[in-house]
Structure formats: C-alpha cells, structure tokens
C-alpha cells in the first residue's frame, strides 16, 4: 500500500496551528495582565487628579475670605490676576 503525502501534510498543518494557538494564547494572557495593571494605575491617577482638583477648588473658595493665599493662586493660574484682561479668542491681528 502506498503512503499518502496528504497525511504528513495535514499533521504538519495541525502542529503549526497548535503552535500558533499556544503563542497567541500566551500573548493574550500577558497582555491581559498588563491591561489589569494599567487599570489600577489609571484609577490611582484619577483619584489623585480628583484630590488635587478638590484642593484647588477649596483654595479658591478660601481665598474669598482670606486674600493672603492669593499670590500662590496667581502663581499656579488658579485665580486670574487683578487687572489682567482675558486672552483674546479671535485671530491675531496682522496675520
């Protein structure tokens, strides 16, 4: 009986598909772990940003009763400087 060349070819294709599946599964596993780490970092950054924003808002409210904090607020642009005009939103003249 003759050996068919189709059997080794199909076995090789099955082996190749199995190796590709294993490789893709490993990449997916590590990508998912990295995604979960990034989610934790993102939540931490969001919490910090919210805390800083709340502190800035409280500082602006505090400056309404105690103006000694105003130089710090002016430095970080949390409160507009007195006498300063709002920046123009239109196009620049001369261009």
Whole-angstrom CA distances from 42 to 1, 28, 29, 50, 70 are 66, 21, 20, 12, 32
Alpha helices for the chain (secondary structure H): 6-63, 70-75
CA distance 87 to 54: 25
Please tell me the predicted confidence (pLDDT) of residue 52.
Answer: 95
Please tell me the predicted confidence (pLDDT) of residue 20.
Answer: 98
CA distance 11 to 1: 20
Q: Considering the entire predicted model, what is its pTM?
A: 0.61
3 state DSSP class of 4: coil
- 28-61 pLDDT, tens digit per residue, is 999 999 999 999 999 999 999 999 999 999 999 9
């Amino acid at each position: 009986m003759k050996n068919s060349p189709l059997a080794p070819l199909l076995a090789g294709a099955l082996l190749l598909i199995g190796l590709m599946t294993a490789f893709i599964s490993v990449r997916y596993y590590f990508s998912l772990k990295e995604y979960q780490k990034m989610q934790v970092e993102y939540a931490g950054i969001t919490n910090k940003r919210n805390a800083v924003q709340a502190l800035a808002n409280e500082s602006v409210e505090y400056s309404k009763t105690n103006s000694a904090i105003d130089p710090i607020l002016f430095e970080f642009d949390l409160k507009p400087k007195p006498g300063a005009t709002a920046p123009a939103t239109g196009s620049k003249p001369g261009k």
